[in-house]
A and B are shown apart, each in its own frame.
Chain A
């Protein structure tokens, strides 16, 4: 359970399914028209604001930069802010309103998703609910993921990704997911979980939850991101990878991503102010071509290389490149340069669209053989 103690509900949402979930969770709520903006992102973490869907909720994830390849995943903005308090979280520098807001109108969210997916029926959409919050941290209070899982089951060409640092999986274990939902974890070395990922489920709790959803037949995703440099990182990340692979089944792992710490330059000051005990900003960093601070490339490559070797060993797979076949979990870098891909995996996607296409090929051949074989043109490759 999270620390949410009360909720404010927009009058338009009083009949929504979400209200039933709130009542079941024993959360007191008031119905109120206007909710004052919270300037501090931490101030809004203990109170839930149930809002109507306003404008488009479906978007494409994060930064699009010519220099760094991203995976072109779509994001459904169903939640804003998060009960957790990770030192490196970009929300502390991003949110204009610190209220934890959840869209109560699931039906409208689903309608928007369906409209987009039905317009391009030959394309496989990956859609995550994690861009501005955690997909499962508030599941006990909102029940939103359960309703989305059920809805995505009936959209043939869409896969829902629920990404979390929680262990709140019990409410979704009995959902009829039909393998159309990937439950994924943001994982990190135990030292980082203990010192930087405040209020989240501990690593062992996350791994137990990973085991539970694997046994419930879900596809799973593993995101080792952001990798953070510290004394003894090699052993800690190796241990993480081996435990994570052991907690699940390789044939149910849809994808595995790797990324390293990166943030906008102004975030450094925010982190140092909000988390004075954290030392993550003191490691050597450079300013990348996308304007973000990150470790220098030789250090990133050393860290990635180590994890890739351990992963290959743990999965019993010599070659992790997604370009050499789909008989393995799709491995990818989050926001990395083409030459990092090339030098570590022997090949690189030619573009963001190409990586999107590789995802579609992997999903279709491994999990959805009844769908048509993806066509490059549908992905603008």
Chain B
């Protein structure tokens, strides 16, 4: 990007065709600058960055730009677009595809965002921009990466719209929990045959009951989704838990097992800190038959 000159400006004007882009950039924290950026259009000087209100005159570097791109290339340069989150890049490109006369022009802007000017990359970003707005905003907050967003675009738009309005609006999951919920519920969405069946199976009104806070709702949703998505693991782990409970072991003895059910067997741990604790060893020996039953519960024939 070439610099043309340095100007001191006291009453800057913004370019009207950039309005939609400034709306997008509003969600980014403003940069504390020692100077601003501007450009000439039809002999009028327009600002690319805002003017510090406490000064009447402020230095602006005037940028050159490509005449076909409405100075969007200069705008991207002024805002260090390569550092933007993928969600902002996606929204920016989606706006540019509406404003510029052809796709080629949009491709030329991509290197200013640190992106390869390739049709497939542009398509991926445009698909990201089509994600429900609430989901996009939340993904930006949680720093969901470009690759993760691309994976989210695999899901059907009807499913994503439902997830955003009926699930995400009521909870505040971390990035990893958000991705896990999206994937698990999507599996169930297909397994059950659609949203209606999924809503019924989840008993959604109970899950998102208004008197609960978002953390409680998230907890409920996680539990219910696990039961629904992993019915075999849920059922057999419950059975093992019942068997362990029936052993009536003291707190100093614990039984753990592989809850994915892959590894057969269990581990018995005994806490010993005083001589009396050693009596628990004979308790273990006395429960040999019950432990045998527990092992039998881990045969799935």
Interface residues of A (CB under 8 A from B): 67, 269, 272-273, 279, 281-284, 286-289, 295-299, 301-302, 305, 337, 339, 343-344
Most buried by A among B190, B232, B236, B262: B262
CB distance from B201 to the nearest CB of A (A): 14
Which residue on chain B has the smallest CB distance to residue A298? B300
User: Which residues of chain B are within 8 angstroms of A279 by Cβ–Cβ distance?
Assistant: 190-191
Contacts across chains A and B counted by CB atoms under 8 Å? 57
Scoring B residues 220 to 234 as 1 if CB is less than 8 Å from chain A, else 0, what string do you get? 000000000111110
Verify A286–B154 contact, CB threshold 8 A.
Answer: no
Verify B262–A337 contact, CB threshold 8 A.
Answer: yes
Given contacts A283-B191, A284-B230, contact A305 B264 (CB under 8 A): no
User: Which residues of chain A are within 8 angstroms of B186 by Cβ–Cβ distance?
Assistant: 282
Give the residue of A296, A302, A337 whose beta carbon is less than 8 angstroms from that of B233.
A296
Verify B261–A282 contact, CB threshold 8 A.
Answer: no
CB distance from B190 to the nearest CB of A (A): 4
Verify A343–B300 contact, CB threshold 8 A.
Answer: yes
Q: Does B215 contact A (CB under 8 A)?
A: no
Verify A289–B190 contact, CB threshold 8 A.
Answer: no
Interface size on B, residues (CB 8 A): 21
Verify B300–A273 contact, CB threshold 8 A.
Answer: no
Verify B261–A296 contact, CB threshold 8 A.
Answer: yes
Question: In the bound complex, how far is the Cα of B228 from the Cα of A283, in angstroms?
Answer: 11
Interface residues of B (CB under 8 A from A): 151, 154, 186-188, 190-191, 229-233, 236, 260-264, 299-301
User: Which residues of chain A are within 8 angstroms of B261 by Cβ–Cβ distance?
Assistant: 286, 296-298
Verify A284–B154 contact, CB threshold 8 A.
Answer: no
User: Which residues of chain A are within 8 angstroms of B231 by Cβ–Cβ distance?
Assistant: 284
Verify A269–B154 contact, CB threshold 8 A.
Answer: yes
Verify A273–B262 contact, CB threshold 8 A.
Answer: no
Which residue on chain A has the smallest CB distance to residue B263? A289
* Inter-chain pairs besides A296-B261, A297-B261, A343-B300, 9 sampled, C-beta below 8 Å: A269-B151, A279-B191, A282-B190, A286-B233, A288-B260, A288-B262, A289-B262, A295-B232, A301-B301
Verify A296–B260 contact, CB threshold 8 A.
Answer: yes
Verify B229–A284 contact, CB threshold 8 A.
Answer: yes
Given contacts A298-B236, A299-B232, A343-B300, contact A281 B187 (CB under 8 A): yes
CB distance from A141 to the nearest CB of B (A): 32
9 closest Cβ pairs, A-B complex = A298-B300, A282-B190, A339-B264, A286-B260, A296-B232, A282-B187, A301-B300, A282-B191, A297-B261
9 chain-A/chain-B pairs, Cβ below 8 angstroms: A284-B230, A284-B232, A286-B260, A287-B260, A296-B233, A298-B232, A302-B300, A305-B301, A344-B301
Give the residue of B154, B188, B300 whose beta carbon is less than 8 angstroms from that of A272.
B154
CB distance from A93 to the nearest CB of B (A): 14
Given contacts A269-B151, A286-B261, A298-B261, contact A343 B232 (CB under 8 A): no
User: Which residues of chain A are within 8 angstroms of B262 by Cβ–Cβ distance?
Assistant: 67, 286, 288-289, 296-297, 337
User: Which residues of chain B are within 8 angstroms of A272 by Cβ–Cβ distance?
Assistant: 154
Question: In the bound complex, how far is the Cα of B233 from the Cα of A37, in angstroms?
Answer: 43
